[in-house]
Structure 1
């Protein structure tokens, strides 16, 4: 498998709506340094059943926009999704460069229990959490849970990667983003506390759902950014 490329999959694991999903329509802030034509990127999809998924694509155009009512947009073609209706118009805040491949060839990473990861499924990268310890055999499947869809699926190690976010032009591990760049002051809840969780549901708006804290992963917040 070439470095930096997603492997091809045979068959489907998930049951989602048919057809190509629609990129999020939310208008972003103006992009002062647009990605050039031909840049290989990933596009975030927030449709039902696809929420938070990233799909590989290539930039084929950029419109800088004229005003708040006519914001900047990228035009992209997808690498793995079916070409229905031609290239898509996407808000810049939902486009990011593809994560860089390892600097040197390396075996698949060894994931730990509760690691944040992304698994390649249905032609896109989906965010999940490792929910079972990996056996000694490095070729053993990685068991990943997807909180949004409440699915638990096994994946070959080469279809799983550590979750990283693109922040300020740099790729950082998810735990570093949580620790260093929270959107607001972080309150650490205790196990057993009653809380409400926010879920963004596109045309239905934001909804809050009652929940109970099952486990507090404070160790991730204390690690910070390496180096």
Structure 2
């Protein structure tokens, strides 16, 4: 037991959160799901817990005493780097600054004055925000931001993320291992393929957290199944099947099977007859799909599968 405790206390993920480190914290409490609040690390507690002091949450009516509480490692992430203000589009997944925190939602409208309407799936509210109160939604996964910030290139991400080949997955995929023969999905950073996942098999582990994969439906120039070397950051297990969905709803985040892969999009129209119009924010396109060509989108976060509306809960 002592040996295991020592291993956990020296894990790379926990060592970045030192006293004074500025962080964002999410909560498991009802009414706060899908939100992040800023604060700083006060001190390390027993195990992988930390005492955090919030910037904007207080314990008294006068607002003079800031709230402090113990937080688990899995509820913490660094403050995201600032990025240049961008022009958000319909369907963009964003964080909106509201009630002293950042809340996850989707752009559902663009007003004449440039303000955006944002729909929050958890609370089923729709509110208006100026651009300066919005940011592109990102996940903190294995020590790196997904999607990465423009100023981060692959070499910088590899320095902060250390994934071992044959690492055992815990949680929803407790029996899964990143090893030869494992069935996976692979994403690409190439233009025209962002937001897509392709079924593949792990063929051979390589150095520096890379793997050779063989795709199930992509062919090379010789009409053979394509093989290529990819980073472990681009690999995830195949998503588990979700409960059968009788009908997808407006603004459901889905994966649509198209051009031999699963592409992340948002249901923008429901015309009926088991047909759906899906908007793809990366290509700014709308396409029609049958019910059988869609699946509810799931996020692979901290070695767990989470539904889109719970992507921040890990």
Would you call these one fold, judging by a TM-score over 0.5?
Answer: yes
Q: Structure 1 residues 77, 183: closer, same or farther in 2, change over 3 A?
A: farther
The runs of 5 or more residues in structure 2 that have no matched partner are: 1-6, 61-65, 149-186, 188-193, 198-233, 257-262, 266-279, 283-314
Structure 2 distance, partners of 1:110, 1:148, is 25
- Spell out, residue by residue over 1:40-84, the C-alpha distance to the aligned partner (whole angstroms, 9 max, x if none): 00000122111121000100111242xxxxxx2110000011136
Q: How much has 1:170 moved relative to structure 2?
A: 1.0
Number of aligned positions between the proteins? 163
Q: How much has 1:86 moved relative to structure 2?
A: 4.8
Q: Does 2:53 correspond to 1:77? A: yes
Equivalent pair of 1:45/1:53 in contact (CA under 8 Å): yes
- TM-score normalised per structure 2: 0.46
Aligned to 2:36: 54
Q: Does 2:41 correspond to 1:41? A: no
Local SS of the residue matching 2:132: helix
Equivalent pair of 1:46/1:53 in contact (CA under 8 Å): no
- Spell out, residue by residue over 1:138-175, the C-alpha distance to the aligned partner (whole angstroms, 9 max, x if none): xx211100001100000111001000001121111399
Q: Does 2:140 correspond to 1:163? A: no
Structure 2 distance, partners of 1:178, 1:63, is 40
Local SS of the residue matching 1:38: coil
Local SS of the residue matching 1:158: helix
Structure 2 distance, partners of 1:178, 1:44, is 28
Q: How much has 1:220 moved relative to structure 2?
A: 2.7
What are the within-5 Å matches in structure 2 for residues 81-92 of structure 1? 81-83=57-59, 86-92=67-73
The runs of 5 or more residues in structure 1 that have no matched partner are: 1-28, 66-71, 196-210
Q: Does 2:70 correspond to 1:94? A: no
Aligned to 2:103: 126
Structure 1 distance, partners of 2:244, 2:68, is 45
Structure 2 distance, partners of 1:184, 1:120, is 33
Equivalent pair of 2:41/2:53 in contact (CA under 8 Å): yes
Q: How much has 1:131 moved relative to structure 2?
A: 0.6
Higher strand share: 2
Q: CA RMSD in A?
A: 3.2
Q: Does 2:204 correspond to 1:150? A: no
Equivalent pair of 2:57/2:67 in contact (CA under 8 Å): no
- Spell out, residue by residue over 1:159-214, the C-alpha distance to the aligned partner (whole angstroms, 9 max, x if none): 01000001121111399799556564266x9xxx952xxxxxxxxxxxxxxx6213
Local SS of the residue matching 1:48: coil
Structure 2 distance, partners of 1:41, 1:62, is 14
Local SS of the residue matching 1:45: coil
Aligned to 2:146: 172
Q: Which has the larger radius of gyration?
A: 2
Structure 2 distance, partners of 1:48, 1:178, is 33
Q: How much has 1:113 moved relative to structure 2?
A: 0.8
Structure 2 distance, partners of 1:127, 1:159, is 12
